[in-house]
Structure 1
């Protein structure tokens, strides 16, 4: 297949923020006359939008670039770019590591991608990796593939210097999108038929409107008024910024989904102090109790790190005990890997053996799978409201959707279509999925 130099393909790695950024990049390229390719095989421009949070994310980029190398061998005119956090983090060293790359663009430099493509087409290897403390991409509506659910960034960057985290070094300082800009985007999505919107930020509940000073609870309430009947989610929250007013806003607005992602990272206050998290386990548990008191039935998910610097077996057992006490619906679970430039990598020995890291991680995974399975079995016999998102992978006679608590449900479609809100009687469960019939 001949490659069209005016067509682009974006391959997105990592978080929901990256998915939203890919939509912004696509809009910026289309504004300059480029078109999205139907597949990477016809694209004259292949762009990787990347994540640097986990070590395995970096490895995945390398594997994919090996795949792209074969394309470029057959089509030397193919332009290959790398954007996002890996570009900002590893910078021009990437050109030496991956000769297939033609250009790099950091998270604050997406407006320059069209000019980078033009320069690369002339045979230059170029980069734009400047931080811009004012860049929020205000007014740029994402090019969206999925019409029913959308991600809306409300802030960028992070001021929390967690010892293990590279985000402040790749995304820069916190800056919030203007209140009115967020509401305009939400209003357009609601009028366009979107059924669920997720508000995004590296630390979304520290949002502060740069003009009025309005905080995140005020933004949440305004978003619900702007798009009535549209489900609202948000991620990611930091425990230290989980305020009573935010809990009240969630409890008072029926369109806000009953799911909260609240990363804790460890069950040991000693480890949380080493991680520079800004909260301890007692304060975390107090907030969990408040949330469950005000929002009965809410599902809570989290992030957990096994084997951080200095973690003892006692610290690890405290994490397992926290999991048993809180009973998270789900968790993102990793073993610690040093990220160069972070506080931990600079000042703390990585002194937990690889064997212990992997064992502890497996114990965390096994316990979480048990808890998740128990919670799903407890849902059997209940009636839940499901937003149908798509056909089931196994059968066009079934639909797949999610509850307000973010649980996946598969059910016989009958006359229903993606986008419908459906009441489903839960009749069965697996370790990760509920099944049922419409009522």
Structure 2
């Protein structure tokens, strides 16, 4: 059993090591607020990924070559990830300077508004090349906002949580991911029952337009959440970093790389197992859209249980060990996952997707506390945001790379399985190195 993180850099303490009184009721309130915001965040982000597989490749990236159209749609999907580091830099700086709560209100507003506007955007037939250009620009703005959302949500949850129960509260923002998947896949599953002409003309827009009322709910809840007690302590003691991004890059660059490696499977592996698999199942295997969307729904339900269990296990064994275990298990199931999908049997396809998502969710469950232990309080928002989004920018290209590899190797799934193994091994390495770089009591003084 690992020892708990030192109080100087753990949630629930002041930057100088003095105790901050945080009740479980307050921690639950903050964690729920973080969860609601990230659920909307991932609903919007996953919605785009699903639409890239089913809609944008036909209605926005029109081409005589279906493979090229799909590549164009996945390229616009990747743009959102390419923009995320810029959001991490912007909101990481602001989050460590003016507060976590303010930034999270801004990011969730941007995400919700942009997603709703995508639902109003005319297609290629109506406005020509302007359609994919505008769609890509909106995806760019969405990516910037998402780049600042997760790091702030996890930081706020960790810094409000009692130290001995950080795992269960830090996992709440992570649960927003499968909930977002359930909402987005469920919404597309519902509208996919429409006649093809109705689906193409207006049906696909409904899930995007639903972002507007969801944004209202998220803002109402998030505005009721208080600021991090650790950040308030930093303000009171005038210990706020003047240039947090610069400080992270110059003083904690190895931590950034290790954190990014540890996050890669939970993000990049997920998009391989969902966004790419939906495209592969419907385009190459000629399976129905409803079957592939149902598979992602079942996987999301299973993922919630895995995340909850992972958060509890992190409190007992430490997040690094759980990360290593999740990476190794994902290596073992990579080929069986695709063998099940290639069988084309409905039950086996669902089982394959669910199995893959469950295994890669193990390290994702503990990425919050693992990254929080790598960075001191005054740099934590920036450190978490940059680490996760370095992984994010790589992850955004995973469906694109998987599609290109599949085309280059004759259309089989073995290349995607190998890609998943590579991603899983990188995360395993990150988990193995993380304990060596986690901050010690002597290294953290007054949040520095």
User: What is the TM-score normalised by the length of structure 1?
Assistant: 0.25
Give 1 or 2: higher helix fraction.
2
- Give the structure, 1 or 2, with the largest relative contact order (CA under 8 Å, sep 6 or more): 2
Give 1 or 2: higher strand fraction.
1
Instruction: Please tell me whether Structure 1 or Structure 2 has the larger radius of gyration of its CA atoms.
Output: 1
